[in-house]
Structure 1
């Protein structure tokens, strides 16, 4: 029933004629570029711009349409995987809607729908974005990403993805190292998290500083808690220094129980408050 409704919706909402931008079969090209921080799978769309799947370290791929000259009116566009003419029995698959902006990157598609677009390409379908045009144009604008040559390009994209770091800058900068009740010793899981953060710190030459902030729960007196928070921040610093991070990179702050992130009335809340947060600065 649901599939029938989707098919009917497509029939009702996709006009027979549209101003279509699609690269000719014999001219379709894919390229893969990237490093430890980001991988990009790109197909130029003739006359319109670049269709790019972007995967950042620690994240799933997203999709971006970089328009050379955006002819779509800002607003909601339809997003679907269209069936090519050489698949007469295949049907278009509606993926939902996405926003069109006036920016250089005219369309940004989030991870879930981008994953559906990639799955469509693997099935030989053409991810398509359709939106009304500027001015009083009768025909909508349709931008099509071709599946020609996708399998080989996907293999190269996967090779690039395999070299990505486990976390990106924002994720490392939100790292929280947890501690046992009353302790300042790093657990195995804490060391594993710091090893991942360390890999990023060593790879990104723009990192100019590391801020460590120690915290505790409210068990005990305030002075003891502040000292415990200091010992925890020092434990994190010393672990990173043992792996080659220079001492001048660090700024340490210790707050004791002044800034809880959860209620100290429960064991779970107190566990969340026993922490050192790590933040990276860039030059």
Structure 2
């Protein structure tokens, strides 16, 4: 029988079914099993030593070394983004499949638990939104973005679990070939080269003290990070200019961020409108009224922002620029209701002065407004 090389799809294809099929095929067929090199890395129970590092308000990170593999870290950042960092040189390219499981500890036995083995395992998968290889990550590795809220995930890491990671890498030649020909043809021209199955298991035994510290750190994280606040829009119903409760919360979160990040030196507020004409008015007058409406939106946001700054006791100099543009700078087509909604907005941008860098880090250069001026 002619050997068959098995691949499991793209990083977006991460369903447990693909793992079931691969592992079942490997058990039933030695020829298929030969198409994967298997590498196993484990942390002994006596070597479990999760270490917490924190940058107050911005990041909390639990770090565990894994012999011969590198390390694994659980990281929560401002904005409550939860990631698993795989710090290892074993991933020169993005793998085909990444699975994370929480298994029961095999007390008193050497039983091996494999994802997808429904008869022998009682663990549960951890949902991964996506996995990437961040540019410039030092040391190199992979980053897994989880879908669970931070606190919910931490609560699942009890003392009777095994954190199990499964990574399936394609053959080294695959990444080069898929640049030149389509993926299916690349699979058919690998000349029987084997992929790699990497397994990492870490007991959560003794993790409770570190988890308590991690939970305390997470409680102090800011609700939003700089990337979320560096430029954002508040959208309005037609004719409205006062911020609603959800928009006010964005302003409160902005002020909370300003209270701890002293590198923010300026805020720019730009008011906009769609081109909806006012009834019984000429075109020129209608544009003037839209200009006035955008001014009211920007002014209302500015007044609230300054009120929140005063209530938070922020007295350092902040340059607040307030501008209004009417319908002059649309970001969408005004023909549709959805397009008009996107144009009825106030755009808020933060300007940052980073120590050690020349000049200022400003979001204005990337603003749609800046490209239209």
Q: Please tell me the TM-score bracket, short chain as reference.
A: 0.7 to 0.9
Structure-1-length-normalised TM-score: 0.77
1:142-191 per-residue CA deviation (whole Å, 9 max, x = no partner) reads 43333222344333322222211111112223432234543433334332
Q: Give the Å deviation of 1:98.
A: 5.0
What is aligned with 2:41?
A: 21
Task: State the distance in 2 between where 1:183 and 1:50 align.
Answer: 52
Q: Give the Å deviation of 1:278.
A: 0.9
Kindly name which structure, 1 or 2, has the bigger radius of gyration based on alpha carbons.
2
- From the superposition, tell whether residues 210 and 98 of structure 1 become closer, same or farther in structure 2 (CA, over 3 Å): closer
Give the 3-state SS of the residue equivalent to 2:224 in structure 1: coil
Task: State the distance in 2 between where 1:24 and 1:236 align.
Answer: 56
- From the superposition, tell whether residues 3 and 276 of structure 1 become closer, same or farther in structure 2 (CA, over 3 Å): closer
Q: Following superposition of structure 1 onto structure 2, how do residues 3-14 of structure 1 map, counting pairs within 5 Å?
A: 6-7=19-20, 9-12=22-25
Structure-2-length-normalised TM-score: 0.61
Q: Following superposition of structure 1 onto structure 2, how do residues 118-267 of structure 1 map, counting pairs within 5 Å?
A: 121-122=157-158, 124-131=161-168, 141-179=198-236, 181-219=238-276, 220=278, 221-242=286-307, 243-244=309-310, 248-265=318-335
- From the superposition, tell whether residues 262 and 138 of structure 1 become closer, same or farther in structure 2 (CA, over 3 Å): closer
Task: State the distance in 2 between where 1:272 and 1:137 align.
Answer: 50
Are the counterparts in 2 of residues 74 and 101 from structure 1 also a CA contact under 8 Å? no
Task: State the distance in 1 between where 2:287 and 2:226 align.
Answer: 33
1:222-279 per-residue CA deviation (whole Å, 9 max, x = no partner) reads 2222232223222222222222366742233322112334554566654443221111
Task: State the distance in 2 between where 1:149 and 1:200 align.
Answer: 34
Decide which moves more: 58-67 or 106-115: 106-115
What is aligned with 2:181?
A: none
Decide which moves more: 123-132 or 45-54: 123-132
What is aligned with 1:93?
A: 115
Give the 3-state SS of the residue equivalent to 2:302 in structure 1: helix
Tell me the number of residue pairs that the alignment of Structure 1 and Structure 2 aligns: 280
Are the counterparts in 1 of residues 37 and 195 from structure 2 also a CA contact under 8 Å? no
